[in-house]
Amino acid sequence: MLFSEFVGSRAAQQRYWARSYLGWRRIGTAAPNAGHQALVKLERHGLLGVITQNVDGLHAAAGSARVINLHGEIAAVICLDCGDRSDRAEVQHRLALLNPHLSEAPQLEHAELRPDGDAMVERWDDFVLADCRLCGGRLKPDVVFFGESVPKPRVQRCYSLVDEAEILLVVGSSLTVMSGLRFVRYQWKQQRPVVIINRGQTRGDDFATIKIDGGCSETLTSILQRCQP
Ligand SMILES: [Zn+2]
């Protein structure tokens, strides 16, 4: 959903939150993979930090010490009106209390996945939104929507991290969005090395000192095996 669409109408917010509410149960089941774990181990070999475009919190869950969540975190919620930040699990609990008809119908989770989800559309109109505890304002998951910019202080922290490092290593991103690509261009302009590991082309390939066309987990694991213990 576009940011403008989300903020533009309460109906769009109902649609978004209803789907998000029903999908939330599936999110908790994701676990860090070998790639996440390899990045944690690479800290012993000089990796300074991770800038991630993922919103799933799995780098922190794997144990990465320094993570900047460029596009936010799905586990957090912000108020569009006063900026208050709260826990997604707490909002989920409030949504369950506000929408008992959905909580008692777990089969709707599957209905929602059907392409002909007309019944679900009607339900969206009934969906009761949770408002900000402090100001009664509009809540939004703390993730950057399409058409929304990354908060400037966060972008600045990323540039600082890139400046601190010697090499910018891109892992598993096609860099299709400018929010990530700009750091590659920045590093390239400073005439510092850019290494890209990705299966297939990326928008950053022209700026890469080294490009490895391969899977992230396999490549990182293989790099680790070659590192001195
Ligand atoms: Zn508020």
204 lies in some domain: no
Cα–chain center distance at 117? 26
Catalytic residues: 71
Number of domains, the chain: 1
Residues surrounding ion ligand 1 at CB below 5 Å: 79, 81-82, 84, 132, 134-135, 137
Distance between Cα 83 and ligand 1 center (Å): 6
pTM: 0.85
216 lies in some domain: no
* Domain limits for position 19: 3-165
195 lies in some domain: no
182 lies in some domain: no
The residues, ordered by sequence, that sit 6+ positions from 111 with a Cβ below 8 Å of its Cβ are: 117, 119, 120
207 lies in some domain: no
16 lies in some domain: yes
189 lies in some domain: no
Distance between Cα 94 and ligand 1 center (Å): 15
Rounded distance between C-alpha atoms, residue 63 and residue 72, angstroms: 18
Distance between Cα 131 and ligand 1 center (Å): 8
Placement of tokens 């996440």 in the chain: 36
Distance between Cα 214 and ligand 1 center (Å): 44
Cβ contact 193:159 at 8 Å? no
Cα distances (angstroms) measured from residue 103 to each of 13, 124, 127: 19, 14, 11
Per-residue confidence in pLDDT tens, the chain, 229 aa? 899 999 999 999 999 998 888 888 666 678 999 999 999 999 999 999 999 999 999 999 999 999 999 999 999 999 999 999 999 999 999 999 999 887 655 545 444 545 444 445 456 788 999 999 999 999 999 999 999 999 999 999 999 999 999 999 999 998 888 788 999 999 999 999 999 999 999 999 999 999 999 999 999 999 999 887 7
pLDDT of residue 101: 80
Q: Which of these, 48, 10, 27, 28, lies nearest to 157 by C-alpha position?
A: 48
